[in-house]
Amino acid sequence: MNPLPLADLFQSVSDPTRLRILALLTRMELSVGELAQLLEQSQPRVSRHVRILADAGVVERRKEGSWVFLAIDGAERTRQLLQLIDAWTDAGTRAVFDRDSERLDAVRADRAEAAERYFAAHADGWDSIRSLHVAETEVERAIDGALDGRGLGTLVDIGTGTGRMLELFGPRAAEAIGIDRSSDMLRLARVKLASAGVQSSLRQGDMYALPLGDSVADCVIIHQVLHFAHAPAQAIAEAARVLSPGGTLLVADFAAHEREELRTRDAHLRLGFGDDVMTGWFAAAGLDVDHIEHLEGGELTVTIWRGSKPEQRKRKAA
């Protein structure tokens, strides 16, 4: 064991390839394969460099299906390290970083093409569901109203899908995190959010075991996800776990209905939710429901439930 761990940290970035990797990751999250393409090196070689950076706590690895995505670790010391590197970057090094950055357009184009193919293959199903309820713009307007137009702190979108909630509300958050079980949907969200210029962190994870610590989020959104859940109460309890005292959970989903064909055609496990059921789950998770809104106007009614985590939890822990 090195008696000077700081030396290990600086050694982890004292390599031309690893410096180029860091410069690229400050611009966007990338997979190992994409980095190999940008750096014109083999994947095994790039993986070795990534492992060194990850072991030093500078880079975070997130597995999504068969892919591994990389991002700058969010720790404060990493931010300070990057500021130091930026301050000491000379003109020659800057030119190399800039050339690498220009190649990111090819990565964005590849992602956009893959996203378009995926969307085209599934668009008919999504359109058929949207035709059954009020316009999505009305739903989004109601969600915006329920969030009171305030800053959102650390925002977590569970089941982020195409990233629409992050696209709308990420700019109001200090940190925007999207979680989805589907690696395909996360790739689609990356394209959409990059195009919109929204900074976010996308992670593959399960709604029943979120890849987040306790009390880290100021606002959690679960938008049109729970009707796919086999255990919605458990998902709400897990959302409450990551919510900080005083934080807000907002759920948007269908009110109870009897459209049985949605079970077989669209894999809906739940045919909407009654207010009594949803408020009971909120209460069981330690959340106080303070807003319910029904958006009628189609065959299906969309409901917004909002609850908060009591502040006194923070005082008890102090």
Q: Tell me: pLDDT of 318 over 50.
A: no
User: Is the residue at 107 inside a domain?
Assistant: no
My answer on whether 126 and 93 are in the same domain is no
pLDDT band at 153 (very low <50, low <70, confident <90, very high): very high
The reported pTM is 0.73
Q: Tell me: pLDDT of 294 over 60.
A: yes
My answer on whether 35 and 166 are in the same domain is no
Please indicate whether residue 6 or residue 290 has the higher confidence score (pLDDT). 290
User: Is the residue at 19 inside a domain?
Assistant: yes
Number of domains, the chain: 2
My answer on whether 70 and 145 are in the same domain is no
My answer on whether 308 and 161 are in the same domain is yes
My answer on whether 208 and 98 are in the same domain is no
Phi and psi at 235, nearest 5°, equal -65, -40
Give the H or E element holding residue 177.
strand 173-180
Strand pairing category for 217-223 and 243-254:
parallel
Q: How far apart are CA 38 and CA 103, in angstroms?
A: 6
Q: Tell me: pLDDT of 3 over 80.
A: no
Return the bridge partners of 240, or none: none
Residue 4 pLDDT: 80
User: Is the residue at 111 inside a domain?
Assistant: no
My answer on whether 84 and 178 are in the same domain is no
Give the 3-state secondary structure percentages of the chain, helix then strand then coil, rounded to 5. 50, 20, 25
Q: Which strands, in side-by-side order, build the sheet including 59-64?
A: 30-31, 67-72, 59-64
Q: How confident is the model over 231-241, as a mean pLDDT?
A: 94
Residue 144 pLDDT: 96
Q: Cα–chain-centroid distance for residue 69? A: 13
Residue 302 pLDDT: 95
Q: Cα–chain-centroid distance for residue 61? A: 15
Q: At which of 73, 102, 131 does a domain end?
A: 102
Q: How confident is the model over 107-112, as a mean pLDDT?
A: 78
My answer on whether 89 and 130 are in the same domain is no
CA geometry: angle at 38 spanning 32 and 44, to 5°? 40
User: Is the residue at 110 inside a domain?
Assistant: no
* CATH (domain of 29): 1.10.10.10
As a whole number, the mean pLDDT across the chain is 88
Cβ atoms of 69 and 30 closer than 8 Å: yes
Q: How confident is the model over 282-309, as a mean pLDDT?
A: 94
My answer on whether 89 and 143 are in the same domain is no
User: Is the residue at 113 inside a domain?
Assistant: no
My answer on whether 127 and 210 are in the same domain is yes
Residue 317 pLDDT: 41
Q: How far apart are CA 87 and CA 106, in angstroms?
A: 28
Q: Tell me: pLDDT of 43 over 90.
A: yes
User: Is the residue at 271 inside a domain?
Assistant: yes
Q: How far apart are CA 87 and CA 75, in angstroms?
A: 19
* CATH (domain of 195): 3.40.50.150
My answer on whether 164 and 281 are in the same domain is yes
Residue 120 pLDDT: 63
Q: How confident is the model over 55-63, as a mean pLDDT?
A: 89
Q: Tell me: pLDDT of 249 over 60.
A: yes
Q: How confident is the model over 279-286, as a mean pLDDT?
A: 94
Contacts of 256 (CB under 8 A, 6+ apart): 271, 272, 273, 274, 277
Q: How confident is the model over 122-147, as a mean pLDDT?
A: 79
User: Is the residue at 112 inside a domain?
Assistant: no
Both tokens of residue 5? 């761990």
User: Is the residue at 44 inside a domain?
Assistant: yes
Which range marks the domain in which residue 83 is found? Answer: 5-102
Q: How far apart are CA 312 and CA 318, in angstroms?
A: 10
My answer on whether 300 and 187 are in the same domain is yes
Q: At which of 44, 70, 102 does a domain end?
A: 102
Could you count the other beta carbons within 10 Å of the beta carbon of residue 228? 17
Residue 218 pLDDT: 97
Write the pLDDT tens digit of every residue in 163-204. 999 999 999 999 999 999 888 888 889 989 988 999 999 999
Q: How confident is the model over 117-136, as a mean pLDDT?
A: 67
Q: Tell me: pLDDT of 132 over 80.
A: no
Cβ atoms of 43 and 50 closer than 8 Å: no
My answer on whether 241 and 142 are in the same domain is yes
The mean-pLDDT minimum among 60-74, 214-228, 276-290 falls in 60-74
Q: How far apart are CA 221 and CA 289, in angstroms?
A: 14
